[in-house]
Amino acid sequence: MKNKKIMTLGFASATVAFSLFFTSSLFGDATVKDAETSRLQALTKFTKVISIVEQYDVDEITIEELIDKALDGMMKNLDAHSNYLTEKDYKNLKVQTSGEFGGLGITVGMKDGALTVIAPIDGTPADLAGLKSADIILKIDEKSTISMTIDEAVSLMRGIVGDPIDVTIVRKGEVKPLKIHIVRGVITIESVHAKKIGEDTLYIRVASFDQKVAKDVAKEIRKNKSTTKGIVLDLRNNPGGLLDQAVDLVDLFVSEGDIVSQKGRNKSDNKTYSASKNSTITEVPVVVLINGGSASASEIVSGALQDHKRAVLVGENTFGKGSVQVVLPITDTDAIKLTIARYYLPSGRTIQAVGVKPDIEVNSGEIKTHKNEFAIKEADLKEHLEQELEKVNEKKEIKKEDKKANKDIITPEMLDKDIQLKEAVDIIKALVITKG
C-alpha cells in the first residue's frame, strides 16, 4: 500500500516522501542501516537527475513526462518482457486479452535484440500474407523497429479493420529484405482443430492456449475414442497463452507427477502444478509437433510430455520463452508488466532461452516423390486377374471421393506436403504396432 502511495505522489513532495519512507526503516542492525542508506542515496541521485533535466534540457519537458520516461527505461532494461504500461498501453493490453481485436494476427518477441515473429496465428491476415516464424521485422510501414519495444510494435500493427500496413522483414535464406503488404482484420482465434488421418490416427491442432483449449481437446478425444489408436498433437507456431490450460492439457495424457513449476525470488511466487489421475482420459501413443514458433505454454506441454516419456517430439527446437509475467496496476490508468519467475519442467530443466529440443529433428518442407514410369506391376501383365483389379480400383475410387469431400480428413497427398506431419504419422504407426 505504501508503494502505491509513493508511486502516485507529485514530484514536489517525492524527495520528502522517499526520505520519510526509507528513513523510518533505518533502525536495526548495521547491515540493514547500510542497505537502507544506500537505497536512500540512490533515490536522492534519481530525483537530482530529474531536477537537473527538467531545468536545463534543451526542450521543455514536464515532470510527468520525465517520470514516465524514467519508468519506461527502467522496465525495458530489466528484461525483454518487462515494461511500463501507459494509459494507452494498458487499454491495448485489455483489448488484446478480450479475445477479439483489429490487427495482423502475429505474436512477436525479442530475440537477440531484434523484433522477431514468434508465430503467425492460423487463418489471420499475417498468416495468409505469408509471414513466418523467425522472420525479423525491420520496419512497420516506414518506422524502423530498432530500439522499439514489443508493446510499441504491437500498437503500430494494430489499427482499424480494413486498413493496410507494410511490414519489412528479414528471412533466413532470402538475400534481401522482403516487404509484405497486409490488410488488418478482426482477430478471432479458433484454437482447436481436429481431423482424422487414416482409420485410426487423430490429428489435433492447437493454435494458441485460450480459455477452452483443454476442454475442446478432451471433447475431440472422447468423440473419436473408439477409433483412435494414436494422436498427433500439433503445437507448431503456437505462441502460448494461459498457463492453466497448458497444465490441464498435459493432465489429459499424464496421470501422476509434476507438470511444471515456477520459481521466483519471492517464495510466494513459487508454485508446482501436478497431474491428477482423475483427469487423464487416454493412454494411446502421442506424437507432438513443435518448431521455432512454439513458445511459452506450448513449450510447457511438449516439454512435460517429453519428460514423462508420454510423447515423442518431432520437428525443430522451440522458441525458448520460459518466464512468468504479471501485470501490476500502479494507478487506475497505468501499470507495469513484470517478470516474477521462471518455468521449470518436471526434470528440473529450464525453458528460458533454451527451448525444448525434439526427440526426432525434422525440418519443414515437402516430400519429393518421383513416379517410375518404367516399373512393371501385376496389372500390366496380359493375363492379370481383371475382375479382382476392378473391385480394388472401385474401392480406391470411392475412398478417394470420400476423402475429397470430407474436410475433416488429412489425405496422403496432404501428408506429402508436410514432411514433419508425415514423420509424426509414421512414428504413430510404429508405436501402435509395437504396443499391439
What is the three-class DSSP state of 89? helix
**Cell 535484440 -> residue:** 113
Task: Identify the DSSP state of 29.
Answer: S
CA distance 272 to 344: 9
CA distance 322 to 80: 12
CA distance 274 to 262: 12
Grid cell at residue 308: 514423462
What is the three-class DSSP state of 49? helix
Q: How many residues does the structure list for the chain?
A: 436
Do the bridges between strand 164-170 and strand 178-183 make them parallel or antiparallel, or are there none, so unpaired? Answer: antiparallel
Give the CB-side neighbour count of residue 69, counting CA atoms within 13 A: 11
Q: Does the annotation mark 321 as catalytic? A: yes
Of 111, 132, 321, 422, which one is the catalytic site residue?
A: 321
**Cell 511444471 -> residue:** 260
CA distance 63 to 87: 17
Of 127, 258, 307, 418, which one is the catalytic site residue?
A: 307
Of 133, 191, 294, 296, which one is the catalytic site residue?
A: 296
Mind giving me the DSSP string for 120-181?
EPTTSHHHHHT--TT-EEEEETTEE-TT--HHHHHHHH--STT-EEEEEEE-TT-SS-EEEE
354, 329, 327, 332: which is closest to 82 by C-alpha? 327
Grid cell at residue 75: 522496465
Grid cell at residue 325: 509475467
Q: Does the annotation mark 296 as catalytic? A: yes
CB 264 within 8 A of CB 256: no
Active-site residue numbers?
296, 307, 321
